[in-house]
Amino acid sequence: MPAAPVVRAALLKCRCLRISSSSTTLLRPTFRFAARSSLRQLSSVAQAASLNDVRPFESDSAPQRPQYLTSYLNPQETIDISTNPAVVSDRTKSRADSDTSHSKHRNNRLVGKKNQQSRSASSKSRLLKQIPNSESHDAPEKPYFVGKRRYMITNDRINRFARSNPQNAEQLSPVDEKSRMAYRELQNLRGMHSQWGYIRHRYPASELQPARKAFTFWKTKFWKVSRPDKPEVPKVPWPWRDTAKWLFELSDARSMQQAWKSLDIESRRKQWPVLLLSTLDLCPEKAHMVLEATLDPLPPGYAINDVLLFIAQRLRISSIKNIRERTIKAEEMLETVAKILEDAPAGHVPLGQRTVGLLASKLPSDQASELYNMLQRANIKLHPNTQLQFAGKLAGEMAHKNTAFEILKGLAESGVDLNAPSPSSTITTLLHCRITHGGLSEEKPAFSPKDALEYFMGKGFVPNVINATAFLDSLCQQAEVDEAIRLALLFSESGVQLDAKAWSTIFRGAKGSLKVENVAKGLEVAKVANVPYVDVLNNTLHTVFFFAEMESREKNFSAPWVYPLFGPMLRAYAKKFELEPLQWWLPDSLPLILTQTTGNDGEKFDSSRPRRWEFLHTIVPLTEKFFSAPNVGPKLQPSPTTIAIMLRAYIKTLQHPYDLMAFYVFFKARLEEHKELAAQLIRDQGSLVHDTIIMTMMERRGLSRPALQVFGDMLKDHVQRSVLKATDGGESEANDGHNRAIPVHPPPGLCTFSILVRGLLNGGDRILAEQVIQVMKEQNVDLNLVTWNTLTKGYAKMQNINKTVSTLQDMEAAGFKPDLFTFKAFGKLKNQGRALELMEGIIDKNRQKIAGEDLYE
């Protein structure tokens, strides 16, 4: 053997001999070892959970320093995971078998663990309860609930189930539920410990022990009441469960306050905790009323915050359909918070960030703005996440965008990363401005999305396609289409890849400007955006339809509004799309219509009142030029959107009432003949084609009955489909071989009802219009502001003062505020003075009624 390798081997041996015994643990691998059946006594809930059947909890944050259950055991104690083979996975068995073959390493590790535990015994004595040795025969046979409720449920044990069984992550066994409950209680105890350490300095030494006793009582009972998996009937009856029935069974907060003040102060102070716990358990919907009525004497601040958190978690304002009821509920919640902040001394109520954040996200924007101002006046500091909650809520309304902008500016100045998901989403909402046409002028200065984006980019914000789309839409709605197109091209050059939605947003603004040059620039933007070619063609076809409709409104042409649309649009359509799919929906020969060169495109489209249309000389040439581009491949198949655009153009071009009724008969037969194709058209376009048919019929005298027949077909099919889904459990559509549940006619929507009501009122048929409104309510379709304005205008045109005034009163009762169109509709009345006198009389009567009822203030 050569000398050099011998020397190197000798040196390596000497180095190994010089390694200290304390460092051997760093070289020795960690083994999982089988354990004996003696286990440190945990809670009955925690000990019953299997080590391999515990799923993770997404809502709870993991400890920064993971600890293991074995670190809390004595050197002689181990965990026997093979005592119950039914719950031991194959992975655990293989580890157990592997561990038994390394007993020597295991014994050495136990010795090291014993030395480590002896050094840290003083720190762990505060967290663990001493449990007798497992080898002792004095241990109880059945695990008992630890008195101090200190559970050794570690992060490794909780997340072990998800690592070993990811495919069963969505399934929960009873053992998992027990572990979940134990973990939640552990988190609750940690929160109690932290909160008591904060508030205990508020009490003098003489009151510290009773205060801690009251604190522990409230927290433990409140945790039971507020648990999401709280049982309907507890196993152990709660003696305080029915304590508050005498109070929350009263009708209003004033009655509750009077009944509460009938008790002496000491009784009120003692009964308050059980009274609120009973209310939260049995009548949570009246918790805010009971809390507001029982604030004298002032309860502990931590309990007030817990009750507010409980109420905020169960607040469902957005689920209330009626706007007025939704506003009343929000105002009640806001008054409760305001009373607490005003009556309580500064710092008495430790208002949690979670409570404030929930209220900010669930309250409407007006009430959320008032809450934010209220917190600012009370000098309550808000976490950046809580401020983002307020900014996200306020950014959605034009009236509060400036406030949201100020909040975001403060966060940007404090160093918050604006490109993070939450701030970026809030900025997107802020940049998207919806201009409400017809609204009354505001005294507040208008919010400028351009200035906001410039500020954010100066702070390091990098726009993405979502932010850019929102910003471009705001510019288009503010009639800055040229600037939107310029910035869209600039964004594209800067690396922001525009998508189909961004382009459709820009092109919609170009159409709305009614300028052909803007439409041409919008088509140029489509070249740099990732837009399907069929979508570009569809939007270009719809531009012709839109220009014709807007021209008819601007020139105030009298009804019926018939446009010479179909011929020019069909000639453009035939250059790119196949004729056969469209021909299937129409009774006329499309090749024959294409051969017409006289301009009238057939007898059906001859107009008895010739008019000069500008769109035929402006947008139609641009459309024909765009569609005349040479085809690279075969002609395209039209999409349902293409078919709907062409069908609407055909309907709007029909001159004679008979042709319109004959087309609906043909169209209905096609729907019933090919139900799958009809379902595809309805699924993609909804009631758009049917609404166009009803609108065109309502514009002609004598066709209100056929229009109601179309509406009846829609309503009948909708009711039958609802009955089938209710009886068959929604499976008939997928399982019925005869396609009996596939929709043939779409259900009537809000637009359908509004078209019918407007047409009937314009025709003077008030009774039928009111019957349609009644059907609308029976179908759970709520009236919007447009429908209320339609009713007001219809009654005002008929000079029905009583109905006009009552409609305005009902509109206000529903929570809607009048806009410019409302006042224009009211202006149709000739005797407006009489209407105002009626409204003043109603207001005075309501004031007297309120004063007589002696409402609680």
Among residues 724, 740, 770, which one ends one of the domains?
770
Answer yes or no: is 607 within a domain: yes
Place of tokens 């765009």: 626
Domain assignment present for residue 649? The answer is: yes
Give the pLDDT score at 157. 37
User: Is residue 661 over pLDDT 80?
Assistant: yes
| Cα 202 to Cα 386: distance, rounded to the nearest angstrom | 26
Burial of residue 690 (CB within 10 Å: 0-12, 13-18, 19+) is: buried
- What integer pLDDT is reported at residue 229 of this predicted model? 75
Structure confidence at residue 32 (pLDDT): 41
Residue 355 lies in a domain: yes
Average pLDDT, integer, range 141-159:
37
Do the beta carbons of residue 165 and residue 89 sit within 8 Å? yes
**pLDDT in the model for residue 287:** 93
Could you tell me which residues are beta bridge partners of residue 577? 636
pLDDT category at 165 given cuts 50, 70, 90 is very low
Q: What is the mean pLDDT of residues 13-29?
A: 42
- Rounded distance between C-alpha atoms, residue 544 and residue 446, angstroms: 33
3-state per-residue secondary structure call for 349-400 = CCCCHHHHHHHHHHCCHHHHHHHHHHHHHCCCCCCHHHHHHHHHHHCCCHHH
Boundary residue ending a domain (743, 770, 797) = 770
Q: Using an 8 Å Cβ cutoff, are 741 and 733 in contact? A: yes
- CB count within 10 Å of CB 71 equals 13
322 compared with 205, residue with greater pLDDT? 205
608 pLDDT band (50/70/90 cuts)?
low
Same domain flag for 807 and 733: no
Please tell me which of 115-124, 294-303, 557-566 the model is most confident about, judged by mean pLDDT. Answer: 294-303
State phi, psi for 226 to the nearest 5 degrees. -90, 0
The structure tokens listed for 736 are 């019925």
- What is the C-alpha to C-alpha distance for residues 300 and 200, in angstroms, rounded to an integer? 12
> What is the pLDDT, as a whole number, of residue 163?
40
On whether both 167 and 304 belong to a single domain, the answer is: no
Q: Please check whether residues 451 and 554 belong to one and the same domain.
A: no
User: Is residue 599 situated within a structural domain?
Assistant: yes
Q: Flag whether 23 is in a domain.
A: no
Angle at 506 between CA 505 and CA 512, to 5 degrees: 90
| Position with higher pLDDT, 411 vs 77 | 411
| Same domain, residue pair 595 and 671 | yes
The whole-number average pLDDT for the span 600-613 is 66
pLDDT at 262 over 70: yes
Does 381 share its domain with 437?
yes
The answer to whether residues 513 and 552 belong to one domain is no
Domain span holding position 271: 218-228+240-517
Tell me the range of 193-197, 224-228, 696-700 where mean pLDDT is highest: 696-700
Tell me if 19 is assigned to some domain: no
Does 284 lie in the same domain as 223? yes
- Whether 759 maps to a domain, the answer reads yes
Residues 167 and 258 in one domain: no
Alpha helices in 19-59 (DSSP H): 24-27, 44-47
Averaged pLDDT, 579-591: 93
Last residue of a domain, one of 748, 770, 792: 770
- Residues 513 and 656 grouped into a single domain: no
Binned at pLDDT 50, 70 and 90, residue 831 comes out as: confident
Nearest-angstrom CA–CA distance, 643 and 684: 11
Whether residues 787 and 744 share a domain: the answer is: no
Total number of domains in the chain: 4
Tokens in use for 597? 């060169």
Place of tokens 């409140």: 222
3-state DSSP call for residue 530? Answer: strand
d(CA 292, CA 305): 13
Q: What is the mean pLDDT of the chain?
A: 77
Residue 551 has pLDDT above 60, yes or no: yes
**pLDDT-derived band of residue 175, with 50, 70 and 90 as boundaries?**
low
Q: How far is CA 310 from CA 194, 227, 291, 370, 703, in A?
A: 20, 10, 12, 21, 57
70 shares its domain with 161: yes
Q: Check which CATH number belongs to the domain holding 351 and give it.
A: 1.25.40
Q: Which residue has the higher pLDDT, 151 or 740?
A: 740
Cα torsion 320, 323, 325, 326: sign: positive
Q: Do 41 and 180 lie in a common domain?
A: yes
Residues 439-480: pLDDT tens digits?
544 444 578 999 999 999 999 999 999 999 999 999 998 889
Q: Is 529 exposed, middle or buried (0-12, 13-18, 19+ CB in 10 A)?
A: buried
Torsion angles phi and psi, residue 261, rounded to 5 = -75, -10
> Is residue 20 situated within a structural domain?
no
Q: Which residues contact 462 (CB under 8 A, 6 or more apart)?
A: 419
The pLDDT value given to residue 53: 42
